A and B are shown apart, each in its own frame.
Chain A
Amino acid sequence: MEIEVKSEMLMKVENLKKYFPISKSYFSHSVHVKAVDDVTFMIPTKSIFAVVGESGSGKTTLARTVLRLIEPTSGKIFYEDEDLTKFNSKQLRSFRKKMQIISQDPYNSLHPRKLVKDIVGEGLKIHFHMSSNAILDKVKETLERVGLREEHMFRYPHEFSGGQRQRIATARALVLKPEFLVLDEPTSALDVSVQAIILKMLKELKKSLELTYLFITHDLAVVDYMADYVAVMYLGQIMEMGTKEDIFNKTAHPYTLLLMNSIPDPDPHVRRGKMIPQGEIPSSVNPPSGCRFHTRCPYAKEICKREEPKLVKISGTHFVKCHFPNPT
């Protein structure tokens, strides 16, 4: 598949698959959870690429597989021109300083018995073999960048609120001067008033440090606020992908449309007679035949049950995986 976007690509992912085995037996063939099933996308340099989906859509597995924190089952991951899937662990380790991750839960992602200076500075010790004084200077500088103060270096994670912890996690990621950040639901554990502050900070850091983000979330409103490019995932596959304008203003896939309809609007004057998806999210062990969304799709026809649609390009940057795109 060709994707023509004028700007340079930092990351290219081709036909990525990750299957988790759930039972192994000598007599029957093994059963797999198809968490990520044949996913192809590109992330332009210095952009925010958001992946949005419900639980079980495989968005977190995708985030971790892209960094090879989980080994892919098959597929290729190019970072600039290098294929990460071919790296051995030593090469990968030195490469990792370019790619960092901020995870969802700031209460579990920080070591509870380490001081903030050690949490943030650990990467410097491993990758740059810096002296402890130099590390302290660097840690202080990075903490100030994310809105914390010098005195916070000598405290433990439990002394901080959720928002502050997510700042610490951000500092830990930024201290290595990465080019690429994976943000896995960075604000879903936070209250809205704090979420707004953290999202704003992440946006500003992206601009000032010229970073590229892979932003994982379940919240379309956050996507609208943050993203340049959006991929909508459902049961391990990308259903629709494009620029933010493509997705929000020229919605082509019924799933994207129904997902948007499902978001409650914080405006009491908007009372829509809205269409919402029927039924439950199917299991990714036995995904539905044909188009995976056909069981919940109000526009589904015979062909949707039999044949899996391809992810096709419908305009310069807009891709959709549907037999009958552009529902009205």
Chain B
Amino acid sequence: MANLQSDFVGIKSPNPFWLASAPPTDKEYNVRRAFEAGWGGVVWKTLGSEGPPVVNVNGPRYGAIYGADRRLLGLNNIELITDRDLYTNLEEIKRVKADYPDRAVIVSIMVPCEEAAWKAILPLVEETGADGIELNFGCPHGMSERGMGAAVGQVPEYIEMVTRWCKQYYSKPVIVKLTPNITDIRKPAAAAKAGGADAVSLINTINSITSVNLDSMSPEPSIDGKGSHGGYCGPAVKPIAMSMVSEIARGADTRGIAISGIGGITTWRDAAEFITLGCGNVQVCTAAMTYGFKIVQEMISGLSEWMDEKGYSDISQFRGAAIPNVTDWQYLNLNYVAKAKINQDLCISCGRCFAACEDTSHQAISMSEDRVFEVIDGECVACNLCVNVCPVEDCITMEAMSPGTVDPRTGKVVEPEYANWTTHPNNPSATAAE
């Protein structure tokens, strides 16, 4: 049986599934329940400075995007950091960590961008015995208007500066949580690395308005007829998160820094995908908020079963395995030629491939009187849209053409050699192949 034990920058947990800093980790009661359910670690909901706690709105905090049967695909929120007293949180963290020494307990922190503020809170956190801290440089709403959260995360110089303070005043691992509300995710990651961060975690939530009420003309969630952009999360953001993770994993200035993957992780498979893109562990929030803490059991059994099937005994054996295959467009093999193939035994004749191809693509699917749909190889550019819109798994597949055969669309022989845009004759700045 696969070993799911996780060692993330020296922080050990029985599995790589942590709960992200968010409502589910706001207090001792929830965190104890999470650990009982099997979560490997938690990042405690973000603590602020000593003094009167922040206040939250007293109306709806969440908005949602649904798929079929009200399946929640995306969630946004306008909740702020913990609205409970700092010392209450610290005492609870200390108690929980003492009772669950094998689990990871990370404390998320967000205080003003001043050295004194960090210097004040870090010893208090150190004293709880927690395993590390996560710097909340990502929260996109409310706190950012006060110069914290994403307002820091969007300025690489601030990130580096604050990270440095944390490494100076705190002895355990420092994880910097990044906001995706930025043009190039590698810049803040590089800043964190330069500041001495042990790891980055990403993504935090994305600026979003989930919907507009067409009667009241208010964005949702609506507070007395007004709305504010919230942070978007859930399954819908996973592709964005994975792309950003991969950028950091392979970036020249960021390569090698430990990554805690966050963003729409809902099943073991999502977690495995993030790990193949270089994540040392993953953090989950929306899935737990949708289904409860029990989902971690499926994540544990699923990841374990898949690892056994693949012969992996340890997570590190496949961590980053997909990174060598993430490349720039210009390096993709232009001599690779594929054609769509429709399995007539599986086809249910819905015609969606035809509508998509005929109306919006390359007119490469024919339709007969008796609703037989066939690919016209002479027109097919292998765009994959038919595969994507087909409601039947594996009914349409992309089949690579063998080298030496002739592509009926171009009339050219499929070449066996790899050749990309950098050497393509149509490229004005092409360099001669060596």
Q: Do A and B bind each other?
A: no
